Every structure is written in C-alpha cells, then in structure tokens.
C-alpha cells in the first residue's frame, strides 16, 4: 500500500471520529457552509415581549376596552370604568379642554358632561366661539370655531376648569340613588355644569335617560339631590 493511500485512510478515519464525538456530545448543529449566518426570523404574528398573545383572554379584554373607549359615546354608561362622570376621568378630560381654553384666553359657556363625551363652547374675547368635544380616550374628537359676538362681562358668567369640582357629578349621582329606584350612575344621560345667571354660583344639574324611573331631573343643593321639572 502506498504512503499516500495510507495518509488518506488515516485522514478519513479522523474525520469520522470527530463527527461521532460531536453527535454523541449533543452538538448536532454543524456550522453552515453558506457564508452569512443570520439569526432565525421571528415567526409571523409573534407578539413582542409583554404583549398579550393573540386570541388570549388578556388580548381580548384589552381589545374590548380599546373598542369601548373609542366606540359610540352614547353607548357608554356611567358605570363603565372609563366614564367621564367619574372624578378621575373628569379631571383628566377637563385638563385637556382647559388647555384649549387657555390658548385663546376664553371661558367655557357651561359644560355638558355625559359618560361618553363632554361638550362645551369656548367663548373667545375677540368675537369668536369654539365648539369642542372630548371623549374617554382624552382626545379632542370635534372642534370648530366660528364668529359670534362676545358680550361684555362674559368672563363673569363663564367657567374655567378651576371653577369645577370634579367630584360633584359623582356626589350628585350618589345622592340621587336615595331619591329614586335604580342606579343613577347607570341611568344618567348627562350632567350640566354652569354658572347661575343671577349670583354666578356654579350649578350642577343631572338629567336621566328616558324610560328610566322618575323623577329624572335633579340639581345638587348643599350635598343633596333635589328633583325639579
């Protein structure tokens, strides 16, 4: 047998021995011979760390909450956790509106607070008015400005966020429950907050939805719910 042939047999035996050692040791992933090794691509639809997996209960609940916040404002009830009649939510929504008001140095011409939206008019000092709305996502959903004469002394009868007690609507709803059947938080249509035209004190009035137990109209007086109308 020639020396070259012996060398080839020895080399082949050495290669086989190395492969056997690698396999028996669990190292079955041999180096790629393709040149550029890249990490395996993430499977399509794989959620990022901390994100609920699709079709999981947590994902469904998060999606439902987002849909509700951005959905039909008239379908929102005062018993919903994101209702704007709740003090913490009302406080945040008022802050959004008040930043808009402060930009033009105006005042609110009352506030109409429903569980799913707050509507108001900002009276400008320069013969303009802005109709504006905010929803439970704390975003401005509607805003338009038009010309309208500004009366003298308009600031005296107008509101700013500082004039509004964010706890007053919830306090009134609790008081209403002692005067009628049902849940006022669930039945509330909207709450009006504005200044009295005579003494300019801040009034808080609640209006229940139709086809709910009577009485349906109340005002907050010294912490009590007084029916009217």
CA distances from 191 to 45, 99, 136, 139, 170 (A): 44, 22, 16, 20, 10
Q: Compute CA distances 171 → 35, 53, 188, whole Å.
A: 72, 40, 13
* pLDDT at 147 (0 to 100): 98
State the average pLDDT for the chain: 82
Instruction: Examine the pLDDT at 33 and tell me if it is beyond 50.
Output: no
- In angstroms, the CA 113 to CA 168 distance is 12
| 112-126 pLDDT, tens digit each | 999 999 999 999 999
From edge to edge, which strands make up the β-sheet containing 224-227?
A: 140-147, 128-134, 117-123, 107-114, 188-195, 202-208, 217-221, 224-227
Weakest-pLDDT range from 24-33, 73-82, 108-117, 201-210: 24-33
In this prediction, residue 130 has a pLDDT band, given cuts at 50, 70 and 90, of very high
Between 81 and 16, the higher pLDDT residue: 81
At residue 33, φ and ψ (nearest 5 deg) are: -100, 10
User: Residue 133 pLDDT more than 50?
Assistant: yes
The pLDDT of 99-111, averaged and rounded, is 98
- Residues with Cβ within 8 Å of 195's Cβ and at least 6 positions away in sequence, in order, are 110, 156, 157, 158, 159, 163, 201, 202, 203
Q: Which residue has the higher pLDDT, 139 or 48?
A: 139
């Amino acid at each position: 047998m020639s020396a070259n042939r012996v060398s080839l047999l020895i080399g082949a035996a050495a290669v086989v021995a190395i492969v056997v050692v690698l396999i028996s040791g669990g190292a079955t992933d041999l180096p790629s011979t393709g040149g550029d090794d890249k990490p395996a691509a993430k499977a399509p639809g794989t959620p990022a760390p901390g994100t609920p997996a699709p079709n999981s209960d947590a994902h469904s609940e998060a999606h439902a909450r987002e849909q509700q916040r951005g959905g039909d404002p008239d379908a929102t009830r005062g018993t919903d956790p994101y209702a704007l009649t709740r003090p913490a939510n009302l406080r945040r929504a008022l802050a959004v509106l008040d930043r808009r008001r402060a930009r033009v140095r105006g005042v609110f011409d009352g506030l109409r607070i429903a569980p799913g939206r707050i509507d108001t008019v900002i009276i400008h000092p320069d013969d303009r008015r802005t109709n504006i709305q905010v929803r439970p996502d704390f975003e401005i959903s509607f805003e338009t400005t038009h010309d309208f004469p500004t009366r003298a002394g308009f600031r005296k009868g107008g509101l700013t966020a500082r004039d509004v007690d964010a706890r007053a609507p919830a306090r009134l709803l609790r008081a209403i429950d002692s005067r009628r059947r049902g849940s006022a938080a669930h039945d509330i249509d909207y709450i009006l907050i504005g200044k009295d035209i005579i003494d300019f004190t801040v009034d808080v009035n609640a209006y229940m939805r139709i086809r709910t137990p009577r009485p349906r109209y109340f005002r907050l007086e010294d912490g009590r719910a007084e029916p009217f109308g």
